[in-house]
Amino acid sequence: MLSVSRYGHSCGSLLHATCFEINWGAAHAPGHGKTDPRPEVTSGHAADRTPLACHDSLLPTFIEQIYYCKTTLASQSALMASAEAGSPSSSGAPTCSPARESRVRYDRGMRIWGAEGQDALERASVCLLHAGPTGAEALKNLVLGGIRSFTVVDGERVGPQDLGNNFMIDQDALGRPRAEVVTASLKELNEAVGGSYVVDEPAQLISSNPSFFHEYDLVIGAQLRCSDAAALDAVCRERGIPLILGRAYGLVGLVQVCVAEHCVVESKPDNTIEDLRLTEPWPELAEAAAQVDAGLLDDHVRGHVPYALLLIRAAAAWAATHGAPFPRTSAEKADFKEGLRSLQRCIEGVPVEEENITEAIANAHRVWSGSSAPTPELVRLFQDEACQHLRAGSSPFWICVAALSRFVASNAAGALPLEGNIPDMHAGSQEFLALQRLYRAKAEADAQEVEGLAHDVAGAAGASVSRVTSAYVRSVCKNARRLRVIRCPALHPDGLPVRTEPEKGGTDALRQALASEDATASTAAFSVLVPAADRYYRTHQRFPGSLHGSEVPEGEVSQLHAIAQGLLAESGISGVHLPEDATTELVRWGGAELHCVAAIIGSIASQEAIKLLTGQFVPLAGTLFYSTVHATSLLFA
DSSP conformational letter for 183: H
Instruction: Using CB atoms within 10 Å of the CB of residue 352, give its burial: 0 to 12 exposed, 13 to 18 middle, 19+ buried.
Output: exposed
Q: Judge whether residue 100 has pLDDT over 90.
A: no
What pLDDT is attached to residue 295? 52
Q: How far apart are CA 577 and CA 571, in angstroms?
A: 14
pLDDT tens figures, 609-618: 999 999 999 9
What pLDDT is attached to residue 508? 76
Average pLDDT rounded to a whole number, residues 366-394: 94
Q: Which of 484, 517, 479, 526 is nearest to 623 (CA)?
A: 526
pLDDT tens figures, 257-305: 999 999 999 999 988 889 999 999 999 999 999 988 755 667 777 788 9
What pLDDT is attached to residue 134? 98
Q: Judge whether residue 566 has pLDDT over 60.
A: yes
- Share in percent of the chain as helix, strand, coil (round to 5): 50, 10, 40
Domain assignments of the chain as residue spans, ordered by start: 2-23+56-70+113-268+595-636, 283-369, 376-486, 502-589
Average pLDDT rounded to a whole number, residues 84-92: 43
Task: Decide: 247 and 229 in contact? Cβ < 8 Å.
Answer: no
What pLDDT is attached to residue 292? 83
What pLDDT is attached to residue 50? 33
**Widest pairwise Cα distance in the chain:** 91
Instruction: Using CB atoms within 10 Å of the CB of residue 100, give its burial: 0 to 12 exposed, 13 to 18 middle, 19+ buried.
Output: middle
pLDDT tens figures, 186-217: 999 999 999 999 999 999 999 999 999 999 99
Residue 141 CB neighbours (<10 A): 26
What pLDDT is attached to residue 57? 33
What pLDDT is attached to residue 218? 98
Beta strand extents in 417-553 (DSSP E only): 484-486
Instruction: Please name the residues in contact with 385: beta carbons below 8 A apart, sequence gap of 6 or more.
Output: none
pLDDT tens figures, 505-563: 556 788 888 888 888 888 999 999 999 999 999 999 999 999 877 788 899 999 999 99
- 3-class secondary-structure state, position 86: coil
Instruction: Please name the residues in contact with 373: beta carbons below 8 A apart, sequence gap of 6 or more.
Output: 414, 415, 416
Average pLDDT rounded to a whole number, residues 352-371: 90
The Cα-based distances of 181 to 130, 158, 200, 422 in angstroms read: 12, 8, 14, 52
Identify the residue with better confidence: 271 or 103: 271
The least confident of 14-23, 409-418, 626-635 is 14-23
User: How high is the mean pLDDT of the chain?
Assistant: 83
The least confident of 74-78, 494-498, 615-619 is 74-78
Give one DSSP letter per residue of 107-136, joined into a string.
Answer: HHHHHHHHHHHHHHHHT-EEEEE--SHHHH
What pLDDT is attached to residue 41? 36
Instruction: Please name the residues in contact with 85: beta carbons below 8 A apart, sequence gap of 6 or more.
Output: 94
Average pLDDT rounded to a whole number, residues 91-95: 47
Percent of the chain with pLDDT over 70: 81
The least confident of 89-103, 215-229, 279-293, 489-503 is 89-103
Return the sign of the alpha-carbon dihedral for residues 276, 282, 285, 288: positive
End-to-end CA distance of the chain: 5
Average pLDDT rounded to a whole number, residues 381-410: 97
Q: Which long-range contacts (CB under 8 A, 24 or more apart) does 314-318 make?
A: 314/339, 314/340, 314/360, 314/367, 315/278, 315/279, 315/367, 316/286, 316/289, 316/290
Instruction: Please name the residues in contact with 166: beta carbons below 8 A apart, sequence gap of 6 or more.
Output: 131, 132, 133, 136, 182, 595
Q: Judge whether residue 389 has pLDDT over 90.
A: yes
Q: How far apart are CA 381 and CA 529, in angstroms?
A: 37
Q: Which of 166, 148, 181 is nearest to 38 (CA)?
A: 181
Give one DSSP letter per residue of 402-416, joined into a string.
Answer: HHHHHHHHHSTT-PP
pTM: 0.81
Q: How far apart are CA 265 and CA 482, in angstroms?
A: 7
Q: Which of 270, 255, 233 is nearest to 622 (CA)?
A: 255
Instruction: Please name the residues in contact with 236: beta carbons below 8 A apart, sequence gap of 6 or more.
Output: 213, 219, 242, 243, 258
What pLDDT is attached to residue 13? 34
What pLDDT is attached to residue 549? 73
CATH top class, domain 2-23+56-70+113-268+595-636: alpha beta
Indicate the residue type of 164: G
Find the radius of gyration of the CA atoms of the chain. Answer: 29
Instruction: Please name the residues in contact with 35: beta carbons below 8 A apart, sequence gap of 6 or more.
Output: none
Instruction: Please name the residues in contact with 401: beta carbons below 8 A apart, sequence gap of 6 or more.
Output: 381, 382, 384, 387, 476, 483
Average pLDDT rounded to a whole number, residues 70-83: 42
